[in-house]
């Protein structure tokens, strides 16, 4: 877990006991690698960091953003990390070396949410600029941009609407990915 009290902790899911505390980063957004061996975190110190989930040791510090890191996510195969920041950029990182692979620039305000598609070939991003954008994860190309989905307050994207972008198992509200699971109803309660 990561929280506003500037702590990141690993918990035993069976007992509920704290197993490990990760020190050195005031992280409050995080994601586990698909194989569970690493954790990535991001925070208002403008960095993302990769941690060894077993030892709690920092493996890499990902430097490059010039604003708070709002969202981080591993690719489905665990080889890359995507981060979104208040500096209006999306950055893709090599999860093994910690090196920046590329930047995606087109949002005009802070990037609030980023995630890889289930097959890892695309990235979806949501921004305070009111847009949801779809990117090719292998090159610096924006594939799609949508402002038309933002017609509710709060904005709501149904499974059917997002399926146009290849994300048929997600729903978003206020540009945040809320669920990876297939949703059976059209609206959030």
Q: Count CB neighbours of 151 within 10 A.
A: 8
The domain total for the chain is: 1
More confident of the two residues 21 and 26: 21
Strands 111-116 and 80-85: unpaired
**What distance in Å separates the CA atoms of residue 59 and residue 166, rounded to the nearest whole number?**
33
Ranking 29-33, 111-115, 126-130, 147-151 by mean pLDDT, the lowest is 147-151
180 pLDDT above the threshold of 80 = no
> Is the residue at 175 inside a domain?
no
**What distance in Å separates the CA atoms of residue 126 and residue 41, rounded to the nearest whole number?**
18
> Is the residue at 166 inside a domain?
no
> Residue 75's pLDDT is what?
94
> Residue 6's pLDDT is what?
62
> Is the residue at 62 inside a domain?
yes
16 φ/ψ sector (left φ>0, alpha ψ -120 to 50, else beta):
left
> Is the residue at 172 inside a domain?
no
More confident of the two residues 182 and 155: 155
Q: What pLDDT, in 10s, does the model give residues 63-118?
A: 999 999 998 999 999 999 999 999 999 999 999 999 999 999 999 999 888 888 88
**Is the bond preceding 86 in cis, omega lying within 30 degrees of 0?**
no
> Is the residue at 187 inside a domain?
no
The domain that holds 81 is classified in CATH as: 2.130.10.10
Span 11-31, mean pLDDT?
72
SS3 159: helix
> Is the residue at 182 inside a domain?
no
Q: How far is CA 101 from CA 137, 184, 186, in A?
A: 10, 37, 37
Domain range for residue 120?
A: 8-149
> Is the residue at 130 inside a domain?
yes
Span 117-124, mean pLDDT?
89
> Is the residue at 56 inside a domain?
yes
Confidence of residue 5 (pLDDT cuts 50, 70, 90): low
Q: How far is CA 108 from CA 49, 81, 126, in A?
A: 25, 22, 11
Among 33, 37, 39, 34, residue whose Cα is nearest residue 51:
39
12 φ/ψ sector (left φ>0, alpha ψ -120 to 50, else beta):
beta
SS3 164: helix
Among 112, 96, 93, residue whose Cα is nearest residue 150:
112
Among 31, 110, 99, 114, residue whose Cα is nearest residue 68:
110
Ranking 56-60, 79-83, 87-91, 159-163 by mean pLDDT, the lowest is 159-163
């Amino acid at each position: 877990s990561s929280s506003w009290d500037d702590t990141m902790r690993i918990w035993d899911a069976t007992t509920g006991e704290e197993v490990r505390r990760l020190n050195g980063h005031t992280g409050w957004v995080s994601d586990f690698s698909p194989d569970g061996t690493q954790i990535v975190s991001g925070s208002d110190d403008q960095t993302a960091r990769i941690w060894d989930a077993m030892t709690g040791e920092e493996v890499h510090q990902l430097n490059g953003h010039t604003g708070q890191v709002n969202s981080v996510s591993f690719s489905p195969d665990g080889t890359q990390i995507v981060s979104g920041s208040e500096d209006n950029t999306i950055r893709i990182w090599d999860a093994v070396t910690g090196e920046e692979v590329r930047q995606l620039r087109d949002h005009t305000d802070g990037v609030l949410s980023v995630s890889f598609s289930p097959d890892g070939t695309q990235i979806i991003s949501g921004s305070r600029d009111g847009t949801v954008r779809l990117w090719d994860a292998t090159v610096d190309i924006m594939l799609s941009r949508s402002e038309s989905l933002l017609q509710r307050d709060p904005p709501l994207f149904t499974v059917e609407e997002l399926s146009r972008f290849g994300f048929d198992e997600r729903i978003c509200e206020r540009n945040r990915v809320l669920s990876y699971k297939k949703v059976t109803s059209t609206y959030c309660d």
